[in-house]
Amino acid sequence: MSYFPLGRPARMAVMASGRGSNLEALLKAFPHDNPLGHIVLVISDRREALALQKAVEAQIEAEYVPWPKERGREQFERVAGQLLRDHRIDLVLLAGFMRLLSPGFVQAWEGRILNIHPSLLPQFPGLHAQRQALEAGVSETGCTVHFVDAGMDTGPIVLQRRVPVLPGDTEETLAARILEQEHLAYPEAVRRVLKGEI
């Protein structure tokens, strides 16, 4: 089932746990007057996440939603889900969001939730994808934008960009080179989804 194109600008939300560099790339690609859509809400599970600060600087609503130790996912999803409904969100973008959402939450947003991952999925899912690539001795890796399903980095692939693994690469140097491609791949994937090309 495809929800797009909508015939109007899409209202998008970004969920992020960290510094928000992919959020920045998305904000540049989808300014408020973009006819395809724009970001109206940023949610983070970490109060100190730079992504929230970047949202405030861009005059976008920024919401810290805690993920408590006890029943954390359930509480986070209840609050985040209400925020998404209140803001009439059409498309949810996970950008460095370091939590696994429940099958029920994902199913409610099926076809309307994307993630970016620093490997050429299905290779190297989960955490430390760059380390996994180096340990496997592959000659190239990259990044993948995919629809989110109930698995760990297993949803249908929208777009991939490739990056060579160079002699002497460390996790840090490889991650930096992949991140450059992520900043190109994510906006392009969102454009394709919003245009109904996927």
> CB atoms < 10 A from the CB of 170, how many?
11
- Residue 9, SS3? coil
The domains of the chain are located at 10-194
Pairing of strands 37-44, 157-164: unpaired
CA dist., res. 171 & res. 72, Å (int)? 30
CB 143 within 8 A of CB 117: yes
Would you state the pLDDT for residue 1?
67
Cα 101 to Cα 16, 104, 179: the distances in Å are 13, 8, 23
> Which residue among the candidates 117, 128, 146, 183 is catalytic per the annotation?
117
Which is nearest to 163 in space by CA: 135, 182, 137, 136? 182
Binding site as annotated, residues for (6R)-10-formyltetrahydrofolate: 73, 98-101, 115
> CB atoms < 10 A from the CB of 147, how many?
20
CA dist., res. 77 & res. 190, Å (int)? 23
Binding site as annotated, residues: 20-22, 73, 98-101, 115
CA dihedral sign of residues 24, 28, 34, 36:
negative
Helices (DSSP H) in the chain: which residue ranges?
21-29, 50-57, 72-86, 103-108, 129-136, 171-194
Per residue in 45-86, pLDDT (tens digit) is: 999 999 999 999 999 999 999 998 888 999 999 999 999 999
123-128 LR contacts (CB < 8 Å, sep 24+): 125/152, 125/153, 125/154, 126/152, 126/153, 128/171
Per residue in 172-186, pLDDT (tens digit) is: 999 999 999 999 999
117 annotated active-site: yes
CATH number of 10-194: 3.40.50.170
Pairing of strands 140-147, 157-164: antiparallel
pLDDT higher than threshold 80 for residue 110: yes
Per residue in 118-138, pLDDT (tens digit) is: 999 999 999 999 999 999 999
| 24 torsion bin: left (phi>0), alpha (psi -120 to 50), beta (else) | alpha
Output the pTM of the full model: 0.96
